[in-house]
Structure 1
Amino acid sequence: MSQLLDPKVLMAIKDLSLAARTVVDGFMAGLNRSQVKGAGLEFSQYRSYQPGDDLRWLDWKMYARSDRYYIRESETETAISVRFLLDASNSMNHRCGEITKMDYARYLAAALAWLAHLQGDATGLFAFRDGRLFSLPSRRDPQHLARLFFQLENLQPAGKFTEELQYRQLFTGERRRELLVFITDLYQHGQEISRLLASLAALQHELIVFHIMGRNELEMDYAGYTTLEDLETGQTVDINDTDMKRSYATGLQQYLAGIRRQMLGQHIFYRLLRMDQSLDSALRDFLQQRQKSIT
């Protein structure tokens, strides 16, 4: 694994576009590029000929070797729309060590967007912030990607997660193939995020949820602090109590198990990411789900 995939190292690269390219270049160096679909390759993969296929894409060399007809899938046949959904509510200001959840989400989204762009995909951005929804429609051109990076760089968490909206209308597009990537800490006051995920799952798009949590949250490690304050409600809780910490650990495991069951039941790909964790696994998960959505 490249050190450049470490989020703490990435924080030293202030240019988000450069950071994204650095992450993906380091990641791709460890992959067999012939397994990766997208722009920059002569073709992405072979598949068996089907009646009605354009004969211009027949590979006659493969036919000579195997006596079977194969079609070369081109970039345009494998391009999809990838929409990034970012939780930008105030809880994403939670800090663990040197970085916040928003920092981690920002660099993660930028790297995934660059990877999608390399594969010829359209990319879009939706940010749930302060009860409102910012949207940047999906496009494929480099100028649009630069706009997406600009919005990510300037996105600052505020307020609560967006309440009821017409999610079905927002995320129902004309494209047949679409991948939705939701980056969030899953912190909610009611069931606003759960309702959003249920609506998105019902649309039958491929959906990935990257759940960001800090090591201090997972291990209840707040050395030197006796109380914690909720970033969105201002409520405080006493943590200087052994029994409280024990019950917290039990409750956390039950909470995470419940989330996994919920995601499994809705056929949503779910990955818990620690803020001190390399972006390597997230990039692999994204690539696998992206290729599932085009088959």
Structure 2
Amino acid sequence: MSKLLDPKVMMAIKDLNLSAKTTIDGFMSGINKSTIKGPGLEFSQYRSYQPGDDLRSLDWKMFARSDRYYIRESEVETNIAVRFLVDASASMNHHDGEFTKIDYARYLTACLAYLANLQGDAIGLYIFKNTELFSMVAKQDYQHLARLFFQLEQLKPEGEFTKPIHYKEIFSGTQNRELLVFVTDLYQTAEEIFDLLDTLNALGHEILVFHVLSRNEIELDFKGYSTFEDLETGQTLQIDQTKARSTYQTKLRNYLDKTRNHMLDRRIYYRTITTDEPLDQALRDFLKQRNKLKV
């Protein structure tokens, strides 16, 4: 496994564009290239050669038969739109060591968007924070990818998760199936995130949920801290970590099992991912689901 897939190494590269490119290059060099499916081409027609045409498209067999230059034109297979949904509510400011959940979500989304763009897919971005929804329509060009990187770089989590709004109207603007990639810590107060997922699922799109967790919240190991603050409500709680750890971890396991079953019942792909976890498996999971949607 490439060290470039280590989140510490990845986040040391401050430029999001460079980090995503470096990470994806490292990932692709370590796997079977045949599993990376770009835009497929099917033969459509011939046309006469015109100055400026790519000589690699010349059909030499046609030249041998007719003594004339013809360009072999192809039709690009229709690719999918990949919409990235990022939870930027205040709970994503939770940190473990050197970086926060939103740091990991930012770089994970950037890498997946770079990979989707590399494969010829249109990409869009939706940011949920402080009861608002920021949206970027899905497009397929490098300038649009650069704009997506810029928006990710500006992310500053605050407030609660977006309250239900006109999700159906926003996400049903196309008749084509889409791949929706949701990066979130699933912190919710009244099932609002599950309500969002139920709405999106009813529209028939393929959904991937990357549930971002930190190692210290999984293990309840906060280096001696005994007072905890809810990042979204400001409420504080006194906890004896040593006494509470066993009960806490049991409840956490039950919660994660319940969440996983909730997703499976709705045929939503669900994966927990910790902020110290290398990205290679998350990238593989994304490729698997993305190629499944193309079939």
Q: TM-score, length-normalised on structure 1?
A: 0.87
Match of residue 70 from structure 2: none
Secondary structure (helix, strand or coil) at the match of 2:76 reads helix
Tell me, in whole angstroms, the C-alpha distance in 1 between the residues paired with 2:75 and 2:223: 52
Which range moved further: 23-32 or 239-248?
239-248
Match of residue 214 from structure 2: 214
Deviation sequence 1:108-158 (CA, Å, 0-9, x none): 000000000010000000000100000010000111111000000111101
Q: Which amino acid aligns with 1:210?
A: F
Tell me, in whole angstroms, the C-alpha distance in 1 between the residues paired with 2:239 and 2:285: 35
Q: CA deviation at 1:203?
A: 1.1
Q: TM-score, length-normalised on structure 2?
A: 0.87
Q: 1:193 to 1:54 in 2, by over 3 A?
A: same
Match of residue 94 from structure 2: 94
Q: CA deviation at 1:78?
A: 4.9
Secondary structure (helix, strand or coil) at the match of 1:163 reads coil
- Percent identity of the aligned residues? 57
1:119-158, aligned counterparts within 5 Å? 119-158=119-158
1:244-259, aligned counterparts within 5 Å? 244-259=244-259
2:17 counterpart of 1:27? no
Tell me, in whole angstroms, the C-alpha distance in 1 between the residues paired with 2:235 and 2:176: 45
The answer on whether the counterparts of 2:221 and 2:241 sit within 8 Å (CA) in structure 1 is: no
Match of residue 113 from structure 2: 113
Tell me, in whole angstroms, the C-alpha distance in 2 between the residues paired with 1:242 and 1:80: 49
Runs of 4+ in 1 over 4 A off after TM superposition: 53-57
Secondary structure (helix, strand or coil) at the match of 2:240 reads coil
Tell me, in whole angstroms, the C-alpha distance in 1 between the residues paired with 2:37 and 2:192: 35
Q: Would you say how many aligned residue pairs link Structure 1 and Structure 2?
A: 268
Q: Which amino acid aligns with 1:153?
A: E
Match of residue 2 from structure 1: 2
Match of residue 193 from structure 2: 193
Tell me, in whole angstroms, the C-alpha distance in 1 between the residues paired with 2:16 and 2:94: 20
The answer on whether the counterparts of 1:184 and 1:212 sit within 8 Å (CA) in structure 2 is: yes
Which range moved further: 143-152 or 235-244?
235-244
The answer on whether the counterparts of 2:88 and 2:102 sit within 8 Å (CA) in structure 1 is: yes
Q: Which amino acid aligns with 1:8?
A: K
Q: 1:178 to 1:75 in 2, by over 3 A?
A: farther
Q: CA deviation at 1:241?
A: 5.0
Larger radius of gyration: 2
The answer on whether the counterparts of 1:76 and 1:120 sit within 8 Å (CA) in structure 2 is: no
Deviation sequence 1:166-224 (CA, Å, 0-9, x none): 11111112241310000000000111101001111111111000000000000001112
CA RMSD after TM alignment: 1.7
Q: Mind listing any 5+ residue stretches in structure 1 that lack a counterpart?
A: 45-52, 58-73
